[in-house]
Amino acid sequence: MIVAIDGPAGSGKSTVSRLLSARLGAVYLDSGAMYRTLALACMEEKVDTENEDAVLALFKSIDIDQKIVEGGQVVLLNGRDVSEAIRTLEITAAVPPIAAMPRIREQMRVCQRAFGEKAGDGMLVAEGRDMTTIVFADADVKFYLDASPMVRAQRRHNELKQKGVEVGIEELAREIERRDNSDIRREVGALKIAEDSVVIDTTGLGIDQVVDRLYEEVQSRRGR
C-alpha cells in the first residue's frame, strides 16, 4: 500500500509523514531530502547548480539513502549522515534550480519509486513535491497538507530556533512565499493538488491531531 503526501513548504508534511510511517510500520520516503542531499553534494564538490549536465553527472556518481532510526530520520550521502547538514538555509536556497531540472527529476523518480519496491507487500509513506501527481500518481491514499503562510513561517522559525539558528519570521515568510511561487510555476514537478487527494488544512491543528486524521483515513482504506 502506498500513501503519498504533498503540500507547500512548512505545511508540516515531513514531520507528519515521519510520525505516520512510524505508527504504520511503513517504509518512509522524504523526497525533498534527496534533492537537499544532491544540493549538498554539489556544494561540497563545487558543482555549478545551474549546469544540468554537471549536476546529473554528480548525481549518478553518489549514493543517497534514508531511514528511520528510533523515530528520527537519518539521511545518508555515500554512507555519511548528513541529516543536519541538509537543513540549513544555504541548502534550502540551493535546491530550487536543481529541482527544476527535467533530467534530474526523471532520475530522481527512478530512485524514489525504488523505495516503493523496498516496501514489497508492506506499506510506503512517501512525501514531497509531485508524490501525489507524478511519482506515485496511482497511490492508494493521497493527502495534501496546507497551512497559512504565517503559520508555516512560525513553524520553520521554531524548528530553526531549536537548532540554535536565529532567523526573523518575516525573512522566513518571504522565503516561503518565494518557494511557493517557484513550486507552483515550475515547468516540471509543479505543486498541484491531485484530484483524488484528501486536503487537510493544518493551520489550527497540532501535529498529533494531523497524524491521527491521516492514520484514521489510511486505516479506513485498508479495511475496505
pLDDT of residue 71: 65
On whether residue 222 sits in a domain, the answer given is no
Does the residue 223 lie in any domain?
no
Domain span holding position 24:
2-206
- Our count of domains for the chain comes to 1
Please report whether residue 218 resides in a domain.
Answer: no
pLDDT at 75: 94
pLDDT at res. 188: 66
Whether 169 maps to a domain, the answer reads yes
CB 104 within 8 A of CB 36: no
Give the per-residue pLDDT at 189. Answer: 65
| Within a domain: 215 | no
- 126 located within any domain: yes
pLDDT string in tens for the chain (224-residue length): 999 999 887 788 888 998 999 899 888 999 999 999 999 999 999 999 999 999 999 999 999 998 877 767 899 999 999 999 998 889 988 998 999 899 999 999 999 988 878 776 789 999 988 899 999 999 999 999 998 888 888 888 887 777 777 788 888 888 888 877 777 776 666 778 899 999 999 988 888 999 999 999 999 988 65
Report if residue 31 sits inside a domain: yes
Is residue 93 included in any domain, yes or no? yes
Cell of 39: 544540493
pTM of the model: 0.84
- Residue 166 sits in a domain whose CATH number is 3.40.50.300
